[in-house]
Structure 1
Amino acid sequence: MEILRVFNNNVVLAKDDDGTEIVLTGRGIGFQGKPGKPIDATKIVRKFVPSDGRDPDHLAQMLAGIEPETVRLVIDALREAGLEELAGNTTVIASLSDHIDNALRRLADDTHITYPLRAEVSNLYPDEFAQGQRLLAAVNTRLAAAGRTTLPDDEATALAMHLVNAGFATGDLSYTYTMTGVIQQMMTIIEATFNIVFDRDSVNVSRFITHVRYLFVRIRQNNQLADEPAPIIHAITQSYPRAMQCAQRIAAILEMRLDANLTQDEIAYLALHIARVSGISE
């Protein structure tokens, strides 16, 4: 392995033996390093391989601004919280480490922020919210053991949002925040259309949100449903005309909010799920 770029004494961008660009961290790994110089393997603590076509320089730059101890803290806490599969995800580790590092800096500066989406996050993403609470507890256990100030309970909301974001394979939380607002808007439109009030904790609502989340993933990946059997789409359209009208209204919202046009297949399946969650029979 050889150095491609030194970001600081603890982070370098390197070329692996197979030519892959990787980010290496370790105390002193970049000290007096220069492009083309071989890596001292004894100084490597962690190796980060950028995934999903992400820019290695961006990842290295992010990690260079984070205390190495924070990265270790996040990886250990993920494992303790039962999120072992995420402990090897470069994007998740980098985004969580960046968030927690900034949260610790805010504590040191006596700066406090609130997360107004706590109710929405706990309602729309109960699994990730529970995971965020476990992750925060694991982080705080380690901070307390080191004699450091622990993070406030509100941080569970932010951690949960990062875990939701992991499903979109992106380090940018803006899409997840947008998705949260759009889901709330969708639920409001359905309630107004059918003159109902949802029990947001019901199984039916949970199933609907799950479908919508998968829809967002397909939109994000440019992989919308488009080749479904025509008789099925026709049957849905004919069986649920009001739900189709509602789905078309929502599709218009998605076009504005996400800059994405839904296929007719996606609109039909959305209508089917709207009919189910609304308990209508047309």
Structure 2
Amino acid sequence: MTLQVIKNINNNVTVCIDSKGKELVAFGKGIGFKKPPYEIELSQIEKTFYDIDKILYESINDIEIIYFDISAKVVDYATTMLDTTLNSNIVFTLADHIKFAITKYEEQLNISLPIMKDIEHLYDKEYAIGDYAVKLINKQLNVNLPKEEIAGIAIHLINAEKLKGRKGTAKNQEVVKMMTDVIEDYMNIKVDMNSFSYSRFVTHVEYLLKRVENQTEISSENAKMYQSLVEAYPEVYQCVEKIKRRFNKEFGIRLCKEELLYLMLHVNRVIYREDCDR
């Protein structure tokens, strides 16, 4: 069997059409030397990837093949560990992330990731895959990446799950709707549900509900910050207090001050950034 090459990305990567008329990206040593169109044997192909966003094609030239090799191994491992299908672009976006991680390592840039513990507790499977990935990268590239990269890779996997269309549980959706309704009603606004601030708000609620499910509480020393926010944003505080009462009444969930603090921060972003129409 053969594939029809329709575009060369570089000497080792081509865009092809298979026997069913589906477009794919093929990797193989020297398969991109000729001027398309032409046919190549399947025996010449090392890897194939379907349903790749065309916007990612050009980025392939900037990423060494070793990063794709590692990324593909991580994605294969993740597929066996997760009970969901990952977005097909993950091999490419993760390869780019690995490249950037190596650049930071070589330049001795260590960027902290405050939500690392949250990721470890709330997305334990994705975190375990991130741990596998970092160990694989360290071994194959003879480096010693910081632990923050475990969470960084886990976040890529979480995003790949969401981009595939993964939806939260019915309860999660019900809680998010309740909170959104309270915000819109109390603040007399229309929330832009397509905004980045709202997306972050929804993700925070998912984290919150996961912590409740796992009986894991946030622990920090933010009492002064909580009081400062209460005084600085009394409307937001009252709105969050109403959400707290609805949480307790409708879902039997009691929110501690730490949860209320982070909730106030996210509600404040949704309300006061240019993401909603008053």
What are the superposed Cα offsets for residues 173-229 of structure 1, whole Å, 9 maximum, x if unpaired?
xxxxxxxxxxxxxxxxxxxxxxxxxxxxxxxxxxxx85576579xx9xxxx9xxxxx
Pair 42,215 (structure 1): closer, same or farther in 2 beyond 3 Å: farther
Cα deviation for residue 100 of structure 1 reads: 1.3
Instruction: Report the CA distance shift for 1:121/1:147 in structure 2 as closer, same or farther (over 3 A).
Output: closer
Inter-partner Cα distance in structure 2 for 1:87 and 1:257 = 25
Of 174, 179, 194, the residue aligned with 1:258 is: 194
* Residue matched to 2:24: 22
Cα displacement (A) at 1:251: 5.3
The residue number in structure 2 matching 1:166 is: 160
**Rounded Cα–Cα distance in structure 2 between residues aligned with 1:69 and 1:25:** 12
What's the Cα RMSD here?
A: 3.8
Structure 2, gaps ≥5 residues long: 199-245, 256-278
d(CA) in 1 for partners of 2:142 and 2:71? 15
Which of 224, 245, 250 does residue 275 from structure 1 map onto? 250
Q: CA deviation at 1:250?
A: 3.7
Cα separation, partners in 2 of 1:159 and 1:145, compared to 1, 3 Å: closer
One-letter amino acid of the counterpart of residue 34, structure 2: G
What's the offset of the Cα at 1:137?
Answer: 2.9
Q: Which has the higher contact order (CA 8 A, sep 6+)?
A: 2
CA distance in 2, matches of 1:273, 1:64: 53
TM-score between both structures, scaled by the size of structure 1: 0.56
Structure 1 residue 110, shift from structure 2 partner: 2.8
Counterpart of 1:73 in structure 2 is 70
The code of the aligned residue for 1:248 comes to D
Q: Does 1:39 align with 2:56?
A: no
Q: Distance in 1 between matches of 2:146 and 2:190?
A: 35
- The question of whether the paired residues in 1 share the 8 Å contact of 2:12 and 2:28 is answered with yes
**Structure 1 runs not aligned, ≥5 long:** 172-208, 225-243, 261-270
Do the aligned residues in 1 keep the contact of 2:12 with 2:29 (CA within 8 Å)?
yes
CA distance in 1, matches of 2:193, 2:40: 46
State the percentage of identical aligned residues: 22
The answer to whether the aligner puts 1:249 opposite 2:251 as a matched pair is no
Corresponding letter in the other structure for 1:29: I
Alpha-carbon spacing, 1:272–1:247, altered in 2? closer, same or farther (3 Å): farther
1:155 counterpart residue number: 149
Deviates more, 1:76-85 or 1:17-26: 76-85
CA distance in 1 between partners of 2:171 and 2:142 (Å): 40
Cα gap change, 1:144 to 1:210, in 2 (>3 Å): same
Equivalences for residues 158-197 of structure 1 within 5 A: 158-169=152-163
Choose between structure 1 and 2: higher strand proportion: 2
Indicate the SS of the match to 2:20.
coil
> 1:115 corresponds to which residue?
113
Q: Deviations over 1:52-83 (max 9, x none)?
A: xx63x223333343222222223323455653
Residue 24 of structure 1: how far off its partner (Å): 0.8
Q: Under a length normalisation based on structure 2, what TM-score does the superposition of the two structures give?
A: 0.57
Amino acid at match of 2:131: A
Q: Distance in 1 between matches of 2:133 and 2:75?
A: 9
| Residue aligning to 2:266 | none
Look up the SS of the partner of 2:143 in the other structure: coil
Residue among 90, 93, 98 paired with 1:92: 90
1:140 to 134, 141, 154: 134
In structure 2, C-alpha distance between the alignment counterparts of 1:75 and 1:86, rounded to whole Å: 17
Could you tell me whether the CA contact under 8 Å between 2:87 and 2:163 is conserved in 1?
A: no
Matched residue SS, 2:108: coil
Cα distance change, pair 148–39 in 1 and its aligned pair in 2 (3 A): same
Deviation by residue 1:146-173 (Cα, 9 ceiling, x = unmatched): 36103210012212211221222269xx
Q: 2:268 is matched with which residue?
A: none
Count residues with an aligned counterpart.
198
Residue 141 of structure 1: how far off its partner (Å): 3.1
Whole-angstrom distance in 2 between the partners of 1:215 and 1:275: 10
Alpha-carbon spacing, 1:121–1:134, altered in 2? closer, same or farther (3 Å) = closer
